[in-house]
Amino acid sequence: QRYEVMEPQPTIVDGFMLVPDAPGLGIDIVEEAIVKYPSAGNVSGPATAEEPLYVKARTQRARWLHPAPQSASTDFD
């Protein structure tokens, strides 16, 4: 889904994103794609006294950005 909500896609070289030279952020938001993914609010859960919301880890977002690799198949047909 992250590839359909903006154009052009960021250019990654050696693990770093190149800074676009276009005005603003250098991307265009695809409004038709954005409406398919309404906000669910803060997905990180409530804050605690030990971990305020400002610094709370967003593990769900991390899983979305870096999905777990698919395990190799052990099926030998």
Identify residue 1 by its one-letter amino acid code.
Answer: Q
**Domain presence at residue 77:** no
**Domain presence at residue 25:** yes
Helices (H), 1-77: 31-34, 59-65
**Domain presence at residue 75:** no
Give the domain extent around 14.
6-65
Q: Tell me: pLDDT of 70 over 50.
A: yes
Q: In what helix (H) or strand (E) does residue 7 lie, and over which residues does it extend? A: strand 6-7
Sign of the dihedral defined by the CA atoms of residues 29, 33, 38, 39, in that order: negative
Q: Quote the pLDDT of residue 38.
A: 82
**Domain presence at residue 49:** yes
**Domain presence at residue 73:** no
Per-residue confidence at 39, pLDDT binned at 50, 70, 90?
A: confident
**Domain presence at residue 76:** no
DSSP 33: H
- Dist CA 66 CA 64 (whole Å): 6
What predicted TM-score, i.e. pTM, was given to this entire model? 0.42
